[in-house]
Amino acid sequence: MTSPEPFGARLRRAMDERGPLCVGIDPHASLLADWGLSDDIAGLERFTYTVVEALADRVAVLKPQSAFFERFGSRGVAVLERAVADSRAAGALVLMDAKRGDIGSTMAAYAATYLDPASPLFSDAVTVSPYLGYGSLRPALDLARESGTGVFVLALTSNPEGAEVQHAVRADGSSVAATMLDHLRAENADAAPMGSYGAVVGATLSDSLSAAGADLAINGPLLAPGIGAQGATAADLPRVFGAAVRDVVPNVSRGVLRHGPDTAALRESAARFAAEVREAVAG
């Protein structure tokens, strides 16, 4: 049996062909209202399928935020299942933003939910939280390797509360965040053109990176929230990420989604962000 192509290789190709951009699918109540939609299943469906139709055939990555679907119960999860399948069928890589983290068989079940090809929610990658210890993520890391999928580990998040955990210093003098990045670097050793194990690092955190002693050269993707509505711009990326900037996957949500429900406007906004990032990375 032929092994599936690793996520890192598929992501690199998608970024080269479609532009280095990840667009979130975040159907929170205020955004539904901005679109003139009701905060119910009908509004959720209209919002989600409009975004997928507009962008899945042209952006590298779509990132649905699972919580905004789960709040509608089983019918919301059904919408998410269809969005994942339709996005992948149109050529976008799907990064499920679930931020799961647990131990043992429970972590294995979370991993199977998003990274097992037999699952209705099978995605190309998933976000996970390592704060029960990096080793607790092993079921997801191993299944990702087996299924050709990816894992993005929370390392240096853009929320201000994150520093109290992520900047904490361990007995060996390294920060928790730096330790997570070290683990990911080991997972990605010898991978080409890029490893499948990524980190979440906020694009607004230039000062915090040095404070945490963070080496971002992990030979894997760096999911960078914060572009657009949170204040960071594409032009900031080389300064924040340095030599690792080519591996950055900037995440834009509200900056693109606020242009809906007009399909052409959504496409134009996504294309503009992707072009700005490509130009910034190229120097």
Is pLDDT of 244 > 80?
yes
Asked if the model's pLDDT at residue 250 lies above 80, the reply is: yes
Residue 63: the pLDDT is: 98
The residue with greater pLDDT, 233 or 66, is 66
Distance CA 48, CA 7 (A): 24
Instruction: Give the orientation angle of helix 74-89 with respect to helix 41-55, to 10 degrees.
Output: 10
Average pLDDT, the chain: 94
Q: Which amino acid is at 56?
A: A
pLDDT-derived band of residue 207, with 50, 70 and 90 as boundaries? low
For position 206, what pLDDT does the model report? 67
- Distance (Å, whole) CA 195 – CA 26: 27
Average pLDDT over residues 222-226: 92
What pLDDT does residue 141 have? 98
State what percent of residues in the chain have pLDDT above 70.
96
Query: 209: pLDDT confidence band, cut at 50, 70 and 90?
Result: low
pTM over 0.85: yes
Concerning whether 63 is annotated as a catalytic residue, the answer is no
Q: How far apart are CA 69 and CA 26, in angstroms?
A: 9
* Predicted pLDDT at 2: 80
Q: What is the arithmetic mean of pLDDT over 6-10?
A: 98
**How far apart (Å, rounded) are the C-alpha atoms in residues 22 and 164?**
27
Alpha-carbon gap, residue 253 to 11, rounded angstroms: 19
One of 99, 246, 254, 278 is an active-site residue; which one? 99
Position 124 scores a pLDDT of 98
Structure token pair of residue 75: 């019918």
Give 160's pLDDT tier (boundaries 50, 70, 90): confident
What is the residue-wise DSSP string for 2-56? PPPPPHHHHHHHHHHHH-S-EEEE---HHHHHHTT--SSHHHHHHHHHHHHHHHT
Query: What is the pLDDT, as a whole number, of residue 212?
Result: 59
Residue 255 host element (H or E): helix 254-257
Distances (CA, A) of 184 to 10, 139, 238, 256: 18, 15, 21, 30
Write down the pLDDT at residue 9: 98
Give the model's pLDDT for residue 221.
98
Which pLDDT band, with edges at 50, 70 and 90, does 58 fall under? very high
Per-residue pLDDT averaged across 155-180, rounded?
A: 92
**For residue 232, what pLDDT is reported?**
81
